[in-house]
Structure formats: C-alpha cells, structure tokens
C-alpha cells in the first residue's frame, strides 16, 4: 500500500510542475518575413567562426535591449554571456532563428527578453504574446531539457507608455505561465526602471525606448546576482 502511495505522490507532484502549454488565443500570423534579420544572424555566424563560445554558457536571446547591451560581457563578468539578441526582433523571429542563436551553443541558461510583438502594424494581444513566449520556451525545453530559463518582464518605456495596460497584462500572463514550469524563473525589471509611478526618463536614450549606460547599470544590479546563483 505504501508503495502505491509513493508512486501516486510522485505522479501528482510531477503533474503540478508540468508547464501549461495550452494557448490562450488564436495563432498570430506575422505580417512580415521572419527572416528579415538575416544580416544579423550572419554576423553572429561570422563571430562564431572566429571563436566559438564554449558550451554551457548563458545565452541572451531576444530584441534590441540585448543587442544594444554591448558591454554585457564585461558588466556581468565572469559569467559566460553569449549575447545573441538582434534588433527589432519579435518572438516569431526569435523562434525562427532559435537553432542559430540558442541551441547551437548548448546553453546551461537561457535569458529571454523580447518586447516588440505588440508594437507592430498588425494588432497582437497580450495573450498572443504569452503564447509565443510559451512556444519558444517549449522549444528550449525540448532541445536543452537541463537548461534553466529566465524570462525578463517587458520593460516600461516612455515611448510605449500608452500601451502600459497591455504590457502589464502580457507580463502577468507570462509570469503565471512561468509558475507552472519548475526550471524557469521570472525577473521583474520594473522596480529599478520606475520613478514616481512612470518610467524614469533619465535611464533612456533620446528615442525614449532604448536605455543608456545608467539603465544597463540597473539591469546589471538585478540580473547579475540572480545569474550568479546558477554558477
């Protein structure tokens, strides 16, 4: 009897930690070619041909917030950062290029930041953003089942503050999904970017979207202690 109880407990515990991959909205079809950033991918491949990163590193994947973090390797040293964010990208593009920007490095850790999906010409709901995030993380689990995943909240940007509620909803939905996934953590970046209830303009460039050195300094203060715990 005890044997069956133990087996039952194992089954229950396993099911509780099974990620909820169920989609919340209809599939969103891109209104742009998902290979439009081919030049950026070729630049990564050229860099790899000169010096291939060692397996087991920390891959940064996503959009221009990572692309423009040119000092990430130095800021987060000695962590083995492999920065493969490419500017203007959306989740469909990150998914399209996952083989070339994530899986080829056999990472120990994958950090995801991608914020452009709701700001294109074609409407995309917070639920559809969450579903694309889920699709990407399922691919990571399938290819690198031992890899730990960190999802960074979509940041509060002055130029996109009009869609604050949609951004917050997407963050909540992604955070709720991450709770169902054992080897997956959510990083809320808002506390270090908000001042008096609004995005702190002093940490942004003139476009009110991308961050300056102070912005990345704050990101470093949040990410580095978290990532160091895995090393």
Which band of pLDDT confidence, cut at 50, 70 and 90, is reported for residue 222? very high
Q: How far apart are the first and last CA of the chain?
A: 41
Residue 9: per-residue pLDDT:
42
Query: Three-class SS of residue 48?
Result: helix
> How confident is the model over 196-207, as pLDDT tens digits?
999 999 999 999
Which band of pLDDT confidence, cut at 50, 70 and 90, is reported for residue 230? confident
Residue 78: per-residue pLDDT:
97
Average pLDDT over residues 193-197: 97
> How confident is the model over 132-143, as pLDDT tens digits?
999 999 999 999
Residue 231: per-residue pLDDT:
72
Scanning the chain, the segments in alpha helix (DSSP H) are 2-16, 38-50, 64-67, 72-75, 91-96, 98-101, 126-143, 164-179, 213-228
Burial class (CB in 10 A: 0-12, 13-18, 19+), 219: buried
Residue 10: per-residue pLDDT:
39
> How confident is the model over 145-177, as pLDDT tens digits?
999 999 999 999 999 999 999 999 999 999 999
Question: What percentage of the chain has pLDDT greater than the value 70?
Answer: 92
Residue 17: per-residue pLDDT:
57
pLDDT surpassing 70 at residue 118: yes
Matching CATH number, 36-228, of 3.30.300.130, 3.40.50.1110, 3.30.160.70, 3.10.310.10:
3.40.50.1110
Residue 113: per-residue pLDDT:
98
Read off the pTM: 0.91
Domain ranges of the chain: 36-228
Residue 152: per-residue pLDDT:
98
Question: What percentage of the chain has pLDDT greater than the value 90?
Answer: 89
The CA–CA distances, whole Å, from 28 to 23, 62, 64, 122, 168 equal 11, 18, 22, 9, 20
Which band of pLDDT confidence, cut at 50, 70 and 90, is reported for residue 124? very high
């Amino acid at each position: 009897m005890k044997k069956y109880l133990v087996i039952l407990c194992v089954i229950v515990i396993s099911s509780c930690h099974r990620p909820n991959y169920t989609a919340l909205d209809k599939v969103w079809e891109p209104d742009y070619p998902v290979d439009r950033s081919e030049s950026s991918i070729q630049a990564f491949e050229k860099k790899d041909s000169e010096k291939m990163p060692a397996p087991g590193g920390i891959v940064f994947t996503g959009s221009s917030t990572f692309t423009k973090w040119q000092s990430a390797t130095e800021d987060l040293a000695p962590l083995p950062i492999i920065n493969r964010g490419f500017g203007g990208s959306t989740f469909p593009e990150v998914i399209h290029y996952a083989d070339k920007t994530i899986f080829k490095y056999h990472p120990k850790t994958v950090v995801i930041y991608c914020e452009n999906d709701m700001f294109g010409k074609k409407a995309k709901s917070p639920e559809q953003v969450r579903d694309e995030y889920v699709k990407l993380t399922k691919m990571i689990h399938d290819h690198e089942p031992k890899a730990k995943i960190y999802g960074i909240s979509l940041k509060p940007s002055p130029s996109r503050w009009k869609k604050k509620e949609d951004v917050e909803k997407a963050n909540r939905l992604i955070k709720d999904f991450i709770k169902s996934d054992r080897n997956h953590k959510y990083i809320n970046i808002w506390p270090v970017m908000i001042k008096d209830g609004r995005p702190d303009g002093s940490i942004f460039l003139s476009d009110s979207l991308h961050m300056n050195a102070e912005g990345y300094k704050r990101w470093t203060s949040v990410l580095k202690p978290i990532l160091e715990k895995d090393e």
